[in-house]
Structure 1
Amino acid sequence: MRKEKLVTSGLFLFFLVVLSLAACDYDWLRFGLPKPISSFEDLQAQTLNKRIPQRKIELSSYAKELGGSLTSPSYRQFAADAQVFVSGQIKAFKKRPNSYLWIQVNSLKPTMKGLPKSFDYYVPLRNGKFQQNIRLFAGIGEYRVIIRIADKQRYIPFASFYVKNVNPKIERDISYSQQVKQDQLKIAAPSSGYTIQDQFFTLAGKSSASNLMVQIHKDANVMRFPITVHKGEFSEQLPLLEGNGIYRIQVLLPDRSKKDGFVNGATLYIENKSKQEKIGIQFTELYKQRGILLSHPIEGYAQTRLTYRIAGKIDPKVSLARKTTHIVVQIDKGGTKATYFLPIRQNRFDGQIGLRFGMGMYDVVVFVPEITTQKNDYFRFYPIARFKVWNQTQKDLRDLMPSRGIESDHPIIKRLASRLTRGKRSDLEKAKAIFSYVAKNIHYDVRKLKNNSYAWDDSALKTLRLRKGVCQDFVFLSIALLRAANLPARFVEGEAGNQQHAWVEVWIAGRWVTMDPTWGSGVLNGQGGFTKKYDEFYFDPVPELIANTHTRKGVIY
């Protein structure tokens, strides 16, 4: 037993040492140490290298004149496991800034169609020294590596060698151009230059440029997508629309020499594993059970500008058809969501949803409401369909477009907003006029609060018609009038008075101004009623004072 334990411990220690050494990557080469065996392919490469004649790499005459030397690799022909570490120096370039080498890796017999036969690395010289891990990108086979010196806008041979890759994996780096030095492009996703995806992929990273352009190539087809860089970062989901196969993805940077022009910044390849040439809509089982039939969209991906049509019908023979009064649509862009309600009339629905968060890809989910007689201050919805839409409009209009319950584009709302703000000299005066109107003319509906008699069609127009409501209704009408007056405004949810509450924030003169038209309208009295009492304090209150009574949770769209 003791022997077995000792042997087991020894094996464990052996594997631990091998794994630790393997994790050191190519440090063994830099320090002149013998390479540890970390995999079967590694062992295979070392075995082959014992049979290959060891002839030293010969530098070009120009490289010798410049005091060039190659510290790794050493031999003109050898075998390797997937990667090769290249390092050396050029003494004459020790004090030359912005100098670099061009290392071209050529696959002599590539095994995979659709991928280039070569890969380029542009390696900077720092104090005349260079080092670069190069990847044998096309899997198993022979490669020729050519190193050239970039000197006065020309490339001069430095050295070359041949290497046999024993690893069958197809692994490419992302190819960066020289332009990335100026715009500091760095792609984080995809993490490598060749990946396998399904219909869509996420492109994310960093750049000092304010905007990028992405070109997606498949055969002779090219699609272009503009990408906005926000605070030095970008992240967008993009479609692979031409079915199964390999796509070339180019990330383009603004051309500093041409207005509205672009130059190549990085190139990568994606294999779409999906065999569908058209991207389909994803449906749940509830789609058929509730008798819903979408007539628009009919495919799972589209490009549009700012708004998108959702239309369809409901089968009247389905048991819950008569009780299904509306369809719910939720958009999601990068985790920021907005919800829209589309009424069903005569078994049909047809409406526009606003892609309010700017340019990019949106996840769109269509829901049906829960059918229940129980009254709540919240609603439950169940998904029936899912698809994606690309918004080509760059403007972010999240605080200006109409939204659920906020019909800021309706003629009645627009006329009222125009009348209330006429003659007001500043945006602050306009906002105050709207606050005053809502607080003075809308009465608090205590019965609605007690009975939880909230409805899916609660809205600014409904509040204006009934002249009463709870906090959300005060907010619906206030925001609708503010947006109709071209003042960006948003719905804030939180707590106040030990219960859920809603109020408004409006963007004026570079800051968010708080206004609570409900509390500005009056107070709940001790007899279970509401006492109307206009209070101007709740328009643009001192932040420290409003924080004593209001706890902000977030924004709803």
Structure 2
Amino acid sequence: MKTAYKPVVKLAAAAAAAFFAVSSIQVPVTALAYTKPAGSHVLTPIASGVTTYSNEKATLDASNVSEGYIMVKYTGSVGKIKVQITKSGSETYTYDLSSSGVYEVFPLSEGSGSYSVKVFENIQGNQYSQAFSQNVNATITNQFGPFLYPNQYVNFNAASAAVQTGASVAASATDQLEVVSNVYNYVINNVTYDTAKASSVQSGYLPNVDVVLAQKKGICFDYAALMTAMLRSQDIPTKLVVGYTGNLYHAWINVYLEGQGWVDNIIYFDGNSWKLMDPTFASSSGQSQEIMQYIGNGSNYRAKYSY
């Protein structure tokens, strides 16, 4: 079969004009008791080989679906590869897949259920042929796993400069909200918006959090990935969310706070700069009237994918 694809999310300069909106607090079924790690705590994805599916073109390691991730590697000879991951009844997540033969990590962001995993090889232009297909049933026992482990979009490890910096930045914090605040303040004070990169970024771009940290500049996708990596390494479940603000694609951050549940868009963009919202919603006095009106209109922000 041949399948035509639309380009993967492109975060261009025009996106800087969009708002990052604040939505409601969602309380999950299971609570999480938070203890700040000594330094940092990085979960490491493992392709253990206990449960695998393969053919001559690709291998899927589903050994750790209970932790909320799968690992896929391409073993064929074509240079341009896509992988699609679809939970029954949910959005299809399309990723570029490296031709290096090395496993890459993909979150099961939509929770427990039946997932279809398909690998496609490029034939020409935007035409692809299916090279691998497998259905996987996932019972995710660690509901926060997809948003604590590193993955292709939020790629880090224990040796990452982003993790080490995150530990230093969070050292003075006494609770989750202070960790979020410290990370937010560090990133916005040390990373500038790269307008040249935003105007030239290509489809399929993946953030490198350590490069962003070293160069001290990036696009909104870079900001979101860097902050997400830092927060996850502090044991704070964090979603890098891609969706629409108005008619533009953008990225923002949701975090899970003990006693409150998931707080959507805790770090958002107001059209000019990054902002940290008041997640308690105890008072709206700290928010501008314009922002509060924008928040009240749910059509202004629509999450599409969570990584």
Which of the five TM-score ranges fits, normalised by the shorter chain?
A: 0.5 to 0.7
Consecutive unaligned residues of structure 2, counting only runs of 5 or more, are 1-27, 30-52, 280-285
1:451 Cα deviation (Å)?
A: 3.0
Deviations 1:487-534 (A, max 9, x none): 122233344487433221212132415334655xx93xxxxxxxxxx7
The CA RMSD over aligned residues, in Å, is 3.8
Q: Distance in 1 between matches of 2:71 and 2:247?
A: 41
Between structure 1 and structure 2, the one with the greater Rg is: 1
Q: Distance in 1 between matches of 2:58 and 2:275?
A: 50
Confirm or deny: 8 A CA contact 2:169 2:183 kept in the other structure.
yes
Q: Distance in 2 between matches of 1:304 and 1:435?
A: 35
Among 287, 304, 312, which residue is 2:63 paired with? 304
Q: 2:266 aligned with 1:515, yes or no?
A: yes
Q: 2:111 aligned with 1:363, yes or no?
A: no
Alignment of 1:228-239 (within 5 A): none
Partner of 2:181: 432
Confirm or deny: 8 A CA contact 2:241 2:254 kept in the other structure.
yes
Q: 2:41 aligned with 1:294, yes or no?
A: no
Q: Distance in 1 between matches of 2:121 and 2:240?
A: 24
Higher RCO (Cα < 8 Å, 6 or more apart)? 2
Partner of 1:473: 222
Partner of 1:401: 149
Confirm or deny: 8 A CA contact 2:87 2:116 kept in the other structure.
yes
Greater strand fraction, Structure 1 or Structure 2? 1
Partner of 2:301: 552
Secondary structure of the 1:447 match is helix
Partner of 2:87: 333
Among 344, 347, 351, which residue is 2:104 paired with? 351
Confirm or deny: 8 A CA contact 1:399 1:490 kept in the other structure.
yes
Distance 1:497 1:552, change over 3 A: closer
Secondary structure of the 1:304 match is coil
Distance 1:414 1:505, change over 3 A: same
Partner of 2:21: none
Distance 1:389 1:438, change over 3 A: same
Report how many aligned residue pairs link the two structures: 238
Partner of 1:411: 159
Q: Distance in 2 between matches of 1:495 and 1:355?
A: 21
Deviations 1:288-319 (A, max 9, x none): xxxxx42525xxxx86223444334333xxxx
Q: Distance in 2 between matches of 1:410 and 1:500?
A: 31
Partner of 1:458: 207
Give the residue type in structure 2 aligned to 1:400. L
Confirm or deny: 8 A CA contact 1:329 1:367 kept in the other structure.
yes
Confirm or deny: 8 A CA contact 1:330 1:365 kept in the other structure.
yes
Question: TM-score scaled to structure 1, two decimals?
Answer: 0.37
Consecutive unaligned residues of structure 1, counting only runs of 5 or more, are 1-229, 232-279, 284-292, 316-320, 373-378, 524-533
Partner of 2:44: none
1:342 Cα deviation (Å)?
A: 3.8
1:392 Cα deviation (Å)?
A: 5.2
Secondary structure of the 2:196 match is helix
Q: Distance in 2 between matches of 1:380 and 1:478?
A: 35
Q: Distance in 2 between matches of 1:355 and 1:545?
A: 34
Q: Distance in 1 between matches of 2:293 and 2:203?
A: 31
Confirm or deny: 8 A CA contact 1:405 1:460 kept in the other structure.
no
Distance 1:554 1:309, change over 3 A: closer
Confirm or deny: 8 A CA contact 1:359 1:395 kept in the other structure.
no
Confirm or deny: 8 A CA contact 2:119 2:133 kept in the other structure.
yes
1:425 Cα deviation (Å)?
A: 1.0
1:469 Cα deviation (Å)?
A: 1.9
Give the residue type in structure 2 aligned to 1:313. T
Distance 1:508 1:371, change over 3 A: farther
Partner of 2:32: none
Give the residue type in structure 2 aligned to 1:362. Y
Secondary structure of the 2:146 match is coil
Confirm or deny: 8 A CA contact 1:444 1:518 kept in the other structure.
no
Confirm or deny: 8 A CA contact 2:88 2:113 kept in the other structure.
no
Distance 1:418 1:549, change over 3 A: farther
Distance 1:442 1:518, change over 3 A: farther
Give the residue type in structure 1 aligned to 2:98. P
Q: Distance in 2 between matches of 1:371 and 1:411?
A: 39
Confirm or deny: 8 A CA contact 2:74 2:99 kept in the other structure.
no
